[in-house]
Amino acid sequence: MNNLSEQQKKIIAGLDLIYQRLLEYKKKINSDLVIIKDNKVVHIKP
């Protein structure tokens, strides 16, 4: 990750923040997080 531009680093940091907020939101409303794992749809409880 050392060869990333400043803009790329900011984008990655923004995506990390969005993911954290998504997890907090899903926990708050007690909703499943839906992901794809091994080409299958998986529901994860908060």
Q: Where are the alpha helices (DSSP H) in 1-46?
A: 6-28
Residues 34-44 pLDDT 10s: 999 999 999 99
Q: What is the pLDDT of residues 1-46, one digit of tens each?
A: 578 899 999 999 999 999 999 999 999 999 999 999 999 999 998 7
| DSSP-derived 3-state class of residue 41 | strand
Q: What local confidence, expressed as pLDDT, does residue 1 receive?
A: 57
Say how far residue 7 (Cα) sits from the centre of its chain: 19
Max CA-CA distance within the chain? 39
Judged by DSSP in three states, 42 sits in strand
Cβ neighbours of 4 (radius 10 Å): 11
